[in-house]
A and B are shown apart, each in its own frame.
Chain A
Amino acid sequence: MLEIKNLHANINGKEILKGVNLTVKPGEVHAIMGPNGAGKSTLSSVLAGNPAFGVTEGEVTFNGKNLLAMPPEQRSWEGIFLGFQYPVEIPGVSMVNFMRAAVNEHRKYKGEEPISASDFLRLMREKREVVELDNKLANRSVNEGFSGGEKKRNEIFQMAMLEPKLAILDETDSGLDIDALRIVSEGVNKLKSEDNATIVITHYQRLLDYIKPEFIHVLYKGKIVKSGGPELALELEERGYDWIKKELGE
């Protein structure tokens, strides 16, 4: 589904990713872990097409198509979803208008008619329940005045609305209390299927207790330096990242 080969990327001329390789197949859940500044968020931003980042080398194909040639909106239509670490507040744009515009552009890409008002409301209601998002929040401006936990739940709500093939969740667990963490993880698990895949980017093991990835990767200094099964995450939790640095001869 997703194939990243030798990906190099920079921001403001500073190279952050220095040759990332990763393959993700349908139905798989991957976790990318690593210390601060390793390039985890850069990787997710580059995959979603944030124009602030420049790709200098390498290639990324998504279902056989060249992902890097697509603008962010087309990546979304093709089935990429990025759950933001810091969801953006957009005063004046209501959640309803935002989601209706997004859903309709997805439908247009597939050659479908715009969604009817009643179907849209039904869809909103149904998907809100996935993450127990209050109706009041759905009627407000995008993320405006939402608490940290509400913002993250809102990300998963949008994911539920758009039904992506590949969801990249960037530190979705940061700033969440234990209840919110449970709700968000349950939401992600409910949306999991044989056809879609998830990449979870996280600092900590605790999210992985709920969302159980089969593959763990350690990103360090812009490269994936170690990959393994769930046991790798436990080892990182116990021993930190220093032993990996030692293995690398630092």
Chain B
Amino acid sequence: MTVVKQYTDLYQQAKGLIDKHSAHILNENREAAYTLLKATGLPSTSCQDYAHTDLHAMFAPDYGLNLNRVEIPVNPYEVFSCDVPNLSTNLYFLVNDSFYSKQGPAKNQEEDIFIGSLIDFAAKYPLIAGKYYNKQAGKRQDGTVAMNTMFAQDGFVLYVPKGKVLEKPVQLINYMVSETDLMVNRRILIILEENTEAKLLVCDHALNDANYLINQVAEIFIAENARFDYYELEENTRKTNKVSSTFLNQKANSNAVVNGVSLTNGVTRNNIFVTFKGEGAENHLSGIVIADGNQKVDNFTNIDHAVPHCHSNELFKYVLNDEAECAFAGRIHVRQGADKTEAYQSNKNLCATDTVKMFTRPELEIYADDVKCSHGATVGQLDQQALFYLRSRGISEQEARLLLMYAFSADVLEMIRLEPLKERLRMLIEKRFKGELSRCRGCAIHGNAPSEC
């Protein structure tokens, strides 16, 4: 409990300061979150859902929090410049957990589409902010989510009103930069009203040698007939730990793609909750994890088929090397009456050495009669026959291993609906396997960070 106490105490002391640098809608949700966190604490490893991520160890160090919103003297637009062929995005930044508002893309989208800071959104659209903010996260009895709600002061909002289509993908770069150890509580809110369309690419980057703890909550609301793509790429430092909870609420006939690629991190825990609220909705959820050294990545997914005629398709692939220790848990819940549900889940893992650990827990709970569901998980090694076949043609052992590891993970990319991104990720993953991707190579999508970093 002492681990949590340092945060709840801090909140009690700094309440006024936190509120001062935030918005009303965020402030009015803090007390309930504080009460929940104080009562439940952080889940321990004896809780089945967190068996493989030690939150107490993760939150124990004394990180600094920038509650006074001291400005970081950096212009991310100068650090990142776009060089992806054929991918043009509208680019935004969260520096640590503050929205960077001094510069932004030229306003080429329609007036009433909002892309910007949570504080500004709450001021401009107080009713909409109040209707959606914390409406999914607030229901979750998880200390990490409560802690985020308790501390969050700003964040990123994408709001697409009825009938609007955002042609150009939006890109958000989460940029961690600090000289000293830092914890951030990052908040993302995405609202797509009826008959809308948008694509968001979120890239995580961390600079400097500090220890970072990222506690992120993303709430995504996809209304009837809306279509949303959400891509997340994690390329942090190995001293960056992250807990992230992403909530998707999908109304009738909505369609979502959610894809996460974890390339570089310390310890990462991703929670993804998908809830179908209307019939005919579709969700395609996928992830690639490439972990070596002593990286840890733990993906926990929960898909709630609460209504009939929805379709979910889930594929996660992991490649583990060295001493990496990873976990996957996938729960599909088909509720009573959710007939004609189609739900498929697959988790495949490749262990390149015998010193890695992989824990996988596919779960399917079906309470409806007329459904098509499947789930499966495999943990295996590189195919020795294939390795010999490649080597017998003159491909060196090292190169042959890379080819096979790459081939293993590549089919997840087929679930990505943004062609240039797919190409870029293909290249990045190849580089990652070859060990050519260091954090100093800068942003995956937007060119190069300064070489001196």
Give the contacts of A99-119 with B (CB-CB under 8 A).
Answer: 101-102, 105-106, 109
Provide the B390-407 mask, 1 if CB < 8 A to any CB of A, else 0. 111111110110011011
Chain B residues contacting A48 (CB-CB under 8 Å) are 388, 392
Q: Which residue of B lies closest to A87 (CB)?
A: B389
Q: Does A222 reach chain B (CB closer than 8 Å)? A: no
A46 to chain B, nearest CB (A): 12
Q: Are B392 and A52 in contact (CB under 8 A)?
A: no
Residues of B within 8 A of A162 (CB): 393-394
> Chain A residue with minimal CB distance to B411?
A92
How far is A72 from B391 in the complex, measured between Cα atoms in Å? 6
Q: Residue A88 contacts which of B385, B399, B407, B408 (CB distance < 8 angstroms)?
A: B385
Chain B hits for A50, CB < 8 A: 388, 392
Number of interface residues of A (CB under 8 A): 31
Q: Within the assembled complex, what's the spacing in Å between the Cα atoms of A191 and B336? A: 66
The distance from the CB of B53 to the nearest CB of chain A, in whole angstroms, is 30
Q: Assess the B391–A71 pair: CB atoms within 8 A.
A: yes
Verify if A243 is at the interface (C-beta below 8 Å from B).
Answer: no
Is the beta-carbon distance between B394 and A102 smaller than 8 angstroms? yes
Cα–Cα distance between A90 and B404 once the two chains are bound (Å): 8
**Chain A nearest Cβ from B393, distance in angstroms:** 4
Q: Does B410 contact A (CB under 8 A)?
A: yes
Partner of B395, one of A49, A75, A102: A102
A105 close to B392 (CB less than 8 A): no
In the docked arrangement, what's the CA distance between A71 and B389, Å? Answer: 13
B389 cross-chain contacts in A, Cβ below 8 A = 84, 87-88, 90, 142
Segment 76-106 of A: residues with Cβ below 8 Å from B: 76-77, 81-82, 84, 87-88, 90-93, 97-98, 101-102, 105-106
* Chain B at the A interface: SS class: helix
Min CB distance B119 to A, Å, is 46
Q: How far is the CB of B389 from chain A (nearest CB, A)?
A: 4
Determine the chain B residues whose CB is within 8 A of the CB of A87 once the complex forms.
Answer: 389
CB distance from B281 to the nearest CB of A (A): 30
Q: Do B397 and A71 have beta carbons less than 8 Å apart?
A: yes
Judge whether A228 is part of the interface by a CB distance below 8 angstroms: no
B384 proximal to A (CB < 8 A): yes
Please name the residue on chain B nearest to A105 by beta carbon: B394
> What are the residues of chain A within 8 A of B385 when measuring CB–CB?
88
Complex interface residues of chain A between 19 and 69 (CB less than 8 A to chain B): 48-52
B386 in contact (CB, < 8 A): yes
Among residues of B, the one whose C-beta sits closest to the C-beta of A158 is B393
Within the complex, what minimum Cβ distance (angstroms) separates A101 from chain B?
A: 5
- Note all chain B residues with C-beta closer than 8 A to A84: 389, 392
Give the shortest distance, in Å, between A166 (CB) and chain B (any CB): 13
Which of B389, B390, B399 has the most chain A CB within a 10 Å cutoff?
A: B389
Query: Given A92-B408, A92-B410, 17 more contacts at CB 8 Å?
Result: A49-B392, A71-B391, A73-B396, A76-B391, A84-B389, A88-B388, A88-B389, A91-B411, A92-B406, A92-B407, A97-B403, A98-B393, A98-B403, A101-B399, A101-B403, A105-B396, A106-B394
A-B contact pairs, 17 of them (CB 8 A): A48-B388, A50-B388, A52-B388, A73-B391, A76-B393, A77-B394, A84-B389, A88-B385, A90-B383, A92-B407, A92-B410, A98-B390, A101-B399, A102-B393, A105-B399, A141-B407, A158-B393
